[in-house]
Amino acid sequence: MITPESTTPAHDSSPATFDPSLINVILATDCGSTTTKAILIEKVDGEYRQTFRGEAPTTVEEPAADVTMGVVNSVTEVGELAGRRLIDDDGQVIRPATDGQGCDIYISTSSAGGGLQMMVAGVVREMTAASAKRAALGAGAIVMDTIATNDKRLPHEQIQRIRELRPDMILISGGTDGGTTQHVVQIAEMVAPAKPQPRFGSEYRMPVIYAGNVDAREVITDTFDDSVELSLVENLRPTMEQEHLAPARDAIHDLFLEHVMAHAPGYDKLISWT
């Protein structure tokens, strides 16, 4: 699995059958904005140690536009230093490990292209907008801007800002469950006509997560057209005193994998390796 800023084991076995005692060789890569790094971790005398390290330019941008090319190049360098064949003739990571080749686990992290970049919006900057920002940051995102009814910008300035941002996804919150829906609907009605464009082009629909007053869901759904992928999750602030970030945070993570990473150059291939 690849996440905005985290690592997850990439192994053919499910957690139920995963036996740590059989893990002797671990390969890890990190795809940064400019450099892709690879390390080899091996079990030596019963302890895991980093044994070799390599790197290569990241290839997420043109002309290569395929992040796996930089991954293969960095892993190939590690393999040459270790005297261990890690990439097969088809350009795939060899698993599991046998004498002189392959690894037992391949894991990867990525912040290429600046990581997950989000815009968040809420009714009150210090309340629901702040909760939305915390949910986004907790999911590993970079918050590009926070839109709120009281952020001192005029509506046309907010709309222009939304058009300029080109985020990977948008999180909207506002209102307590059972309370007024007017203000959070106004936020949605500002975002929808701005037609924000995703950073990696228009080949996929912009993910928009609504985590506000549940009574406004029907109106929110009607506000957005098919140009966005709208997800409805539990309210970030169901009451004034309660903050409930987990559902929105989980939705951000899932949408990042399903929409953002799947459409970033080469990441669909890299995800398939894990």
Q: Are residues 28 and 132 in the same domain?
A: no
Q: Cα Rg for the chain, rounded, in angstroms?
A: 22
pLDDT at residue number 260 = 66
The phi, psi pair for 198, rounded to 5°, reads -70, 150
| Single pTM value for the model | 0.69
The residue among 113, 146, 180 that closes a domain is: 113
Q: According to the model, what pLDDT value does residue 113 have?
A: 60
Question: In this predicted structure, what is the pLDDT of residue 219?
Answer: 97
Does residue 104 contact residue 23 with C-beta atoms inside 8 Å?
yes
Q: Which of 71-85, 106-120, 244-258 has the highest mean pLDDT?
A: 71-85
Q: Is the pLDDT of residue 262 over 70?
A: no
Confidence check: pLDDT of 38 > 50 = yes
- Residue 273 forms part of a structural domain: no
The overall average pLDDT reported for the chain is: 86
Give the Cα separation of 3 and 88 in Å (integer). 25
CATH of the domain at 80: 3.30.420
Q: What is the pLDDT of residues 185-215, one digit of tens each?
A: 999 999 999 988 877 655 678 899 999 999 9
Q: What pLDDT is stored for residue 261 in this prediction?
A: 67
Q: Could you tell me which residues come within 8 angstroms of residue 136 by beta carbon, excluding any fewer than 6 positions away?
A: 118, 120, 143, 171, 252
Neighbours of 135 (CB within 10 A): 29
Which has more pLDDT, 101 or 7?
101
Domain that holds residue 33: 20-113
Structure confidence at residue 3 (pLDDT): 44
